[in-house]
Amino acid sequence: GENVEQHPSTLSVQEGDSAVIKCTYSDSASNYFPWYKQELGKRPQLIIDIRSNVGEKKDQRIAVTLNKTAKHFSLHITETQPEDSAVYFCAACLYTGTASKLTFGTGTRLQVTL
Amino acid sequence: EPEVTQTPSHQVTQMGQEVILRCVPISNHLYFYWYRQILGQKVEFLVSFYNNEISEKSEIFDDQFSVERPDGSNFTLKIRSTKLEDSAMYFCASSEGAGGDTQYFGPGTRLTVL
């Protein structure tokens, strides 16, 4: 089955700096890669996603890149703010023909300090 | 904006008891999912459901687990005889389609098995 590795597990940056989180996946059939932000005790919230026919996608301060050949994808947050502090999960989605199954990475705890 | 809702927010039960976790997916969505997250760990896929049947399930989803869509709006997860290791946050999710459609997560039910 699919396996998703995520690094780093914790990341501390100063406000205004950039943050980069990296993920790799194992199943080349995975075709959709969402990123979720989870605040303490809350639900995972989708922040950005990318499909396998696209190499890069940007939404204001957040961007995601995908390298299908190397099977890795990354989240980039620029001009970080304290409210960006949360746990970020990458996921790879495998469509089996009847269902989409998300396999999550182990999460990155991002701390943005003043 | 429509959201996935879940009840109860917190369920405490004794080991060996049956629990039913309830979800109301977004109304025009056709695919439904259950995930669980043990405290401090990643989100794990349990099961997907489409057209009134299970379309995919993980190794975690053994005979103790079942899902049902008893009416046009609710989607339930039943654990027949709870174990201590079932203690986790259980998230319901729904999507309009499969094959890379965004999965929207509910707020979760925290299950504590004593």
CA distance A99 to chain B (A): 6
Q: How confident is the model at residue B72 (pLDDT cuts 50, 70, 90)?
A: confident
A14: left (phi over 0), alpha (psi -120 to 50) or beta: beta
Judge: B102–A46 Cβ closer than 8 Å, yes or no.
yes
Apex B103 CA angle, B55 and B89, nearest 5: 85
Q: What is the pLDDT of residues B82-94, one digit of tens each?
A: 999 999 999 999 9
Q: What is the pLDDT of residues B33-56, one digit of tens each?
A: 999 999 988 999 999 999 999 999
Site of tokens 């304290």: A82
Q: State phi, psi for B23 to the nearest 5 degrees.
A: -140, 145
| Average pLDDT of span A40-64 | 92
Distance CA B9, CA A15 (A): 34
Q: Which amino acid belongs to residue B106?
A: G
> Quick count: other Cβ atoms within 10 Å of Cβ A53?
9
With a CB-CB cutoff of 8 Å, which residues 19-78 of chain B face chain A? 31, 33, 35, 41-45, 48, 50, 55-56, 58
Residue B16: is its pLDDT beyond 80?
A: yes
DSSP B101: P
Residue B70: is its pLDDT beyond 90?
A: no
